[in-house]
Every structure is written in C-alpha cells, then in structure tokens.
C-alpha cells in the first residue's frame, strides 16, 4: 500500500513541526476523488506553515525518494498545497482552514483525526 505509507510519512512530517489539528481524509471510497488521501493541518504563523511544508517534503524524500508532483501557496503562506498525486497535503493558517473547510467539502470521506500526543 504505497499511498497509505506515503500518507503516514506526510503525517509524521507535519507532527515533526508541531502542526495542530492533523486530519486524514480517506477518499478511497469517494466517487470521483482526486486523490486517495488528503492530509490537513494547521500552523499558527507564516513561519510555522513554511516549516511544516518543508518538513513534509523532507520526510517524504528521505523515506521514499519522492518529490512532489505539484505544489503551490508558498508565496502567501496561508494555504500551502503539496501534491504527491495519491496523497495531497494541505497546510493552513487557522482562519483560512476554517473558511475553506475541506473536511465539510469532502463529507463522504472517512475522517481520521490524529492525536497530538501519540
């Protein structure tokens, strides 16, 4: 299960930089889904959002030697998207995450909230 392992590594990269409210949306059972998983988290500042995104890319490359297929949002640092095709990482500032509410948009997905302690 390549996409499951990739998803776990993305979560690990987010948690490495103390990302908050990490959520995995399992889109495997959702018709017309654009990926297998969305991994969503929140950072408290431009610096933390940037740091989380760097950590995700570094962890994925270190463990799987995989570069992102596409990435965007590095200019404004409010919503950074890192697309690994099967897994898409979304790193938000809190107010932007609340505004777009991806968890609600993909309401058919299985939602897995990642504990901050584990």
**Which tens digits make up the pLDDT trace of 90-109?**
999 999 999 999 988 888 89
pLDDT at 9: 97
- 2-113 CATH choice from 3.40.50.2000, 3.40.190.10, 3.30.460.10, 3.30.70.20: 3.30.460.10
The pLDDT tens digits for 53-92 are: 999 999 999 999 999 999 999 888 899 999 999 999 999 9
Angstrom distance (rounded) from CA 14 to CA 55: 7
What does the angle CA 76 – CA 45 – CA 13 come to, to the nearest 5 degrees? 90
Angstrom distance (rounded) from CA 45 to CA 109: 28
- The residue ranges of every structural domain in the chain are 2-113
* Structure-token pair, residue 34: 């654009």
pLDDT at 118: 47
Q: Are 57 and 108 in contact (CB under 8 A)?
A: no
| pLDDT mean over 27-41 | 92
């Amino acid at each position: 299960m390549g996409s499951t392992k990739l998803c776990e590594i993305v979560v690990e990269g987010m948690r490495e930089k103390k990302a908050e409210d990490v959520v995995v949306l399992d889109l495997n059972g959702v018709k017309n889904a654009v990926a297998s998983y969305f991994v969503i988290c929140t950072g408290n500042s431009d610096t933390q959002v940037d740091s989380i995104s760097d950590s995700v890319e570094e962890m994925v490359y270190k463990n799987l030697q995989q570069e992102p297929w596409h990435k965007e949002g590095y200019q404004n640092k409010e919503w950074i998207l890192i697309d690994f095709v099967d897994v898409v990482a979304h790193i938000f500032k809190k107010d932007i995450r609340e505004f777009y509410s991806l968890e609600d948009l993909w309401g058919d997905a299985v939602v897995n909230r990642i504990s901050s302690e584990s």
